[in-house]
Amino acid sequence: MSERKKRKPGETREKLMSAVLTLVGKGRHFASLGIREVTRQAGVVPTSFYRHFRNMDDLGLQLVDELGLVLRRMMREARENVFQADKLIEESVGIFVSHAQANRSFFLFMAQGLAGESRAIQDGIRSEMRYFSTELANDLRRLKLADHLTDGDLEMTCDLVVRSVAFSLTDLMGVSAEDEYQVEQIRKRTCRFLQLIFVGAAHWDNKQA
């Protein structure tokens, strides 16, 4: 009953997954990738694919799961590095941008999947975003930064925040990672978006009537 011996349990599997990410990173769209192309990129024989995935969508779904891990890691880092509230937005957006650069292909895949052709993958990504949004709401509650908002309004605010950041993602993916200036522009603009949203949230209740 010792199951942790496998020397390379999913070596090919990982090669296939990162082959997809590589291709996506090169500008290809996930929906246009075929099994043969992916196996070729992974340096594996086509039939090997079926040892690990039933089809491309299956592989995509498992990529979404890994994407979840990346996002969680990012969120943890954000929580550890944000000390005072006034720098909250700048710090968080900064961490987001640097993660997006470090895992470019992953986030590219995410951006694609939002309007992709597999409904399951769409739902998976959407679900990750929802999770992210509720966690953000929890944090804001804990930091006492949202005391005047009802749960519903806080949820909505966080949803809008997450959406805006996700949209900035597409901006970010549109410019080369080395273009420091453009990246910086996007970072600043995203911060301003979030500030605007939070100003709106701070003054929300009186308008709610």
Partner DNA sequence: ACAACATGTGCACAAGTGTACACATTAGGT
Partner DNA sequence: ACCTAATGTGTACACTTGTGCACATGTTGT
Residue 5 interface partner, choices DNA, its own copies, none, CB cut-off 5-8 Å depending on type: DNA
Tally Cβ neighbours within 10 Å of residue 189: 14
Number of residues that bind its own copies (CB under 8 A): 40
Distance CA 18, CA 13 (A): 9
168 vs 164: CA distance, rounded Å: 6
Q: What is the CA radius of gyration of the chain?
A: 19
User: How many separate helices (H) and strands (E) can be counted in the chain?
Assistant: 9, 0
Other Cβ atoms closer than 10 A to 160: 16
3-state DSSP call for residue 125? Answer: helix
Q: How far is the CB of 92 from its own copies (least distance, A)?
A: 17
Per-residue binder mask for its own copies (CB under 8 A), 148-177, x = binder: --------xx-xx--xx-xx--x--xx---
Helix (H, G, I), strand (E, B) or coil at 28: coil
Q: How far is the CB of 58 from DNA (least distance, A)?
A: 10
Residue closest to 204 by CA, chosen among 145, 162, 163: 145
The CA angle 128-107-184, to the nearest 5 degrees, is: 120
Which residue's CB is nearer to its own copies, number 80 or number 86? 86
Report how far Cα 44 is from the mean position of its chain's Cα atoms: 28
Q: Which is nearer to DNA, 51 or 188 (CB)?
A: 51
Which of its own copies, DNA, none does 27 bind, CB closer than 5 to 8 A by kind?
its own copies
- Provide the minimum distance between the beta carbon of 35 and its own copies in the complex, in angstroms, as a whole number: 13
Q: Which is nearer to DNA, 45 or 102 (CB)?
A: 45
Binding test (CB under 8 A) with its own copies, winner from 100, 183, 186, 201? 201
Q: Assess 192 for contact with its own copies (CB under 8 A).
A: yes
Residues 58-117 that bind its own copies (CB under 8 A): 108, 111-112, 114-117
Q: Is the separation of the CB atoms in 140 and 198 below 8 Å?
A: no
Contacts with its own copies, residue ranges (CB under 8 A)? 27-29, 31-32, 108, 111-112, 114-117, 119, 122, 126, 156-157, 159-160, 163-164, 166-167, 170, 173-174, 189, 192-193, 195-204, 207
